[in-house]
């Protein structure tokens, strides 16, 4: 049980964390392979993921840990759904992102409607959870891919994942190991993105 009266340590400089953040890169979900996190590591990743900004202490999100069998079943059901909807080959191909990695954590945004904390802020908290999960996985030596794809928004597909009315899928965090380091990707020119005011 959490001791709410316990003092937390103040931040200290960590060159290791800075170095990791400087090269953080999402993995290609199709390339994630075993080994994936152990059960103990999954618990650690979830606990670290939940330590996120959360205006109002609402915890407006939940986790669904999807192992290989559940993802194989979902991929089969989604493929059948895509066929009935006349979806293009690309929409079928992206199902490999869901089926291939050793582990997936689905983050579901569960905002409380009508609360003084705006829904948008509650949804941002779910997004922060997704990023925390990626950082936790990275710290444990795994690679991660945060994606959504069409089945995060299609009402019939969302129902297959057990997402309820008023909820949305914030992301699928796919976890595993890469056989080779990913290539860098374009990054923004900070001078175009930063405004400084005196």
CATH, domain range 30-180 = 3.40.109.10
pLDDT on residue 87: 74
pLDDT on residue 88: 74
Q: Which residue is it, tokens 């979902």?
A: 74
pLDDT on residue 1: 65
CB 171 within 8 Å of CB 109: no
pLDDT on residue 119: 97
Domain extent listing, the chain: 30-180
| Alpha helix positions (H), the chain | 15-22, 39-49, 68-84, 89-93, 95-99, 119-139, 155-160, 190-193
What is the rounded CA–CA span in Å between residue 17 and residue 20? 5
For the chain (198 residues), the mean pLDDT of every run of 10, in chain order, is: 84 95 93 96 98 96 96 94 82 89 97 96 98 97 96 95 96 95 93 96
User: pTM to 2 decimals?
Assistant: 0.94
């Amino acid at each position: 049980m959490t001791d709410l009266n316990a003092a937390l340590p103040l931040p200290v400089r960590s060159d290791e964390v800075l170095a990791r953040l400087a090269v953080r890169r999402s993995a290609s979900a199709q390339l994630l392979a075993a080994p994936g996190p152990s059960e103990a590591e999954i618990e650690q990743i979830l606990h670290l993921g939940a330590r996120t900004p959360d205006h109002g202490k609402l915890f407006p999100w939940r986790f669904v840990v999807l192992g290989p069998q559940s993802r194989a079943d979902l991929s089969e059901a989604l493929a059948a759904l895509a066929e009935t909807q006349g979806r293009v080959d690309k929409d079928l191909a992206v199902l490999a992102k869901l089926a291939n990695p050793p582990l997936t954590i689905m983050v579901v945004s569960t905002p409380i409607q009508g609360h003084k904390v705006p829904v948008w802020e509650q949804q941002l908290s779910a997004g922060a959870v997704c990023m925390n999960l990626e950082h936790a996985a990275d710290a444990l030596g795994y690679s991660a891919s945060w994606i959504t794809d069409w089945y995060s928004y299609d009402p019939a597909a969302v129902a297959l994942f057990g997402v309820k009315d008023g909820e949305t899928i914030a992301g699928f965090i796919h976890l595993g190991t890469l056989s080779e380091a990913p290539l860098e990707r374009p990054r923004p020119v900070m001078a175009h993105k930063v405004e400084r005011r005196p």
